[in-house]
């Protein structure tokens, strides 16, 4: 039995994760590459921008002509976005200006753009520059964002929408990405029934497999929901064996101290190495983490889609209480999924907000309590939601973050800035 502090448990997971690798790679069209992890570099195939780009509608000028405004320049033409400026104005001469649109290339000789708002037109052939300016004003020089041949995105980058834009700018219609890790989800409990079944009066619908599948998918994995395991060692062992053929096995329930909590003893038969068997947190104290291996005597032939070889598979035994399962996923499973997806584990991203009402807890555990963050940008407050403990999915579904209570705090007064963990697919 090793029960760790929250920080030590998290560090242990990150350490194990640092040895894990993604499986193979596949090529996907850019339109389906969002949230995937890049398996190759994306290199700029041209300068970005490819020409000196005007960032304003206005007049391209030689800056020495506009150091002292007001001044009048002769207008020699108009350059629209996409036009070749050399056809309109091969070389901008002193005392002249060319009308230019946002996104168009400056002509040779021009080195600044006066925005149209600072000009007026005494007549169709001239422009009055009302404000003085300097070189480079409203211009992005060719190659300023990236030189041709430089790396825009490195392997291991998780492709968010900005990274997708970067790849598109480099002309990449297809990208090599890592294959999503396959994550087996195994829920245990004699009382648990499938969501499609009509539950008996004392049965509970399986919510954990579905919340976990949603979390796995949001974190970039491919969830595979296994049949529900009864609290009976033979069938449980069969399903654990099936689960261990995947890249990661997530189990829920059966990890407490009850006499029908069989996950740990059954896992022990699979050469399990337990890294920890609990963390001083609430919810989620009985969480179990380790690696296990199918017995050598197993004659199961791995499906070609399943993980290669017969090496160890990381597993988590998550507490059965639905909110514990959800919170433990966010705190501990994500780093492992990141590593198996081919990217460095994202640190937990805490932010701070003002506590709306005084909070009282017992010391000894780091608590992650469902809460709502509300208010305008400069004045966000956070408040606990009333809940009935870690079985209360209804209240948790109404929350949008977790208040983090350090283990040494008993009372936190209203008005204090406290740590919160945001909840959302993008984190």
Is residue 390 within 8 Å of residue 321, measured between CB atoms? yes
Residue number, nearest CB to ligand AMP: 320
> Whose Cβ is closer to ligand AMP: residue 55's or residue 203's?
203
Chosen from Mg ion, ligand AMP, none, partner binding at 44 (C-beta under 5 to 8 Å by type): none
Indicate the residue whose CB is closest to Mg ion: 189
Virtual torsion, Cα 338, 345, 418, 362, nearest 10 deg: 80
The residue among 322 and 345 lying less far from ligand AMP, judged by its C-beta, is: 322
Rounded Cα gap, residues 337 and 16, in angstroms: 11
Q: Which does 206 bind (CB under 5 to 8 A by kind): Mg ion, ligand AMP, none?
A: ligand AMP
Least distance in angstroms from the C-beta of 210 to ligand AMP: 8
- Pick one of Mg ion, ligand AMP, none as the site partner of residue 96 (Cβ within 5 to 8 A by kind): none
How are beta strands 112-115 and 3-4 bridged, if at all?
Answer: unpaired
Nearer to ligand AMP, 382 or 393 (CB): 393
Footprint on this chain of Mg ion (rule: CB under 5 A): 189, 253-254, 320
**Cβ neighbours, 10 Å, residue 34:** 13
Q: Which does 224 bind (CB under 5 to 8 A by kind): Mg ion, ligand AMP, none?
A: none
Q: How many CB atoms lie within 10 A of CB 41?
A: 12
Q: Compute the least distance from the CB of residue 208 to ligand AMP, in Å.
A: 3
* Shortest Cβ 318–Mg ion spacing (Å): 12
Cα–Cα distance list, 262 to 236, 240, 303, 313, 337 (Å): 8, 11, 27, 19, 25
Closest approach, Cβ 39 to ligand AMP, in A, equals 34
In 81-156, alpha helices (H)? 85-88
> Which CB atom, from 12 or from 208, has the smaller least distance to ligand AMP?
208
* Residue with smaller CB distance to Mg ion, 254 or 284: 254
| Among 302, 331, 306, 307, residue whose Cα is nearest residue 319 | 331
78 binds, among Mg ion, ligand AMP, none (CB under 5 to 8 A by kind): none
3-class secondary structure for 237-296? Answer: HHHHHHHCCCCEEEEECCCCCCCCCCHHHHHHCCCCEEEECEECEECCCCCEEEEECCCC
Measured between alpha carbons, how far is 320 from 187 in angstroms, rounded to an integer? 8
**Contacts with ligand AMP, residue ranges (CB under 6 A):** 187, 189, 191-192, 204, 206-209, 252-256, 258, 319-322, 391
Closer residue to Mg ion (CB): 90 or 227: 227
345 binds, among Mg ion, ligand AMP, none (CB under 5 to 8 A by kind): none
Query: Least distance (Å) from ligand AMP to the CB of residue 263?
Result: 9
Residue 283 beta carbon to Mg ion: minimum distance, rounded to whole angstroms? 15
Tell me if 77 sits within 8 A of 96, measured CB to CB: no
């Amino acid at each position: 039995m090793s029960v760790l502090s929250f920080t030590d448990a998290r560090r242990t997971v990150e350490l194990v994760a640092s040895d894990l690798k993604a499986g193979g790679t596949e090529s996907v069209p850019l339109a389906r590459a969002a949230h995937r992890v890049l398996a190759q570099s994306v290199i700029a195939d041209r300068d970005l921008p490819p020409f000196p780009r005007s960032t304003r509608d206005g007049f391209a000028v030689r800056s020495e002509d506009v150091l002292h405004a007001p001044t009048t320049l002769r207008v020699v033409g108009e350059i629209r976005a996409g036009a070749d400026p050399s056809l309109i104005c091969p070389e901008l001469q002193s005392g002249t200006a060319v009308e230019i649109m946002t996104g168009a290339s400056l002509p040779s000789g021009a080195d600044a753009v006066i925005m149209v708002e600072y000009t007026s037109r005494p007549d169709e052939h001239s422009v009055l520059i009302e404000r003085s300016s300097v070189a480079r004003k409203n211009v992005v020089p060719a190659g300023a964002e990236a030189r041709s041949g430089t790396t825009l995105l490195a392997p291991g980058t998780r492709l968010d929408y900005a990274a997708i834009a970067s790849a598109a700018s480099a002309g990449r219609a297809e990208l090599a990405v890592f294959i999503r890790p396959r994550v087996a989800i195994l829920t245990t409990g004699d009382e648990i029934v499938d969501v499609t079944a009509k539950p008996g009066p004392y049965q509970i619908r399986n919510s954990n497999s579905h919340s976990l599948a949603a979390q796995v998918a949001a974190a970039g994995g491919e969830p595979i929901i296994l049949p529900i395991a009864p609290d009976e060692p033979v069938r449980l062992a069969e399903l654990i064996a099936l689960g261990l053929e995947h890249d990661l096995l997530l189990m829920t329930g059966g990890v407490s101290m009850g006499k029908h909590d069989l996950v740990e003893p059954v896992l022990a038969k699979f050469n399990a190495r337990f890294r920890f068997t609990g963390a001083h947190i609430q919810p989620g104290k009985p969480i179990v983490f380790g690696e296990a291996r199918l017995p050598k005597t197993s004659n199961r032939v791995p499906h070609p889609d399943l993980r290669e070889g017969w090496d160890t598979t990381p597993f988590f035994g998550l507490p059965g209480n639905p909110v514990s399962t959800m919170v433990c996923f966010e705190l501990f499973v994500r780093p492992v999924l990141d590593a198996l997806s081919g990217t460095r584990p994202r640190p937990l991203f805490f932010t701070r907000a003002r506590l709306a009402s005084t909070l009282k807890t017992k010391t000894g555990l780091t608590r992650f309590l469902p809460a709502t963050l509300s208010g305008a940008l400069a004045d966000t407050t956070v408040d606990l939601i009333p809940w009935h403990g870690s079985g209360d999915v209804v209240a948790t579904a109404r929350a949008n973050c977790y208040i983090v209570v350090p283990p040494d705090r008993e009372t936190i007064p209203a008005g204090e800035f406290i740590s919160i963990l945001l909840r959302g697919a993008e984190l």
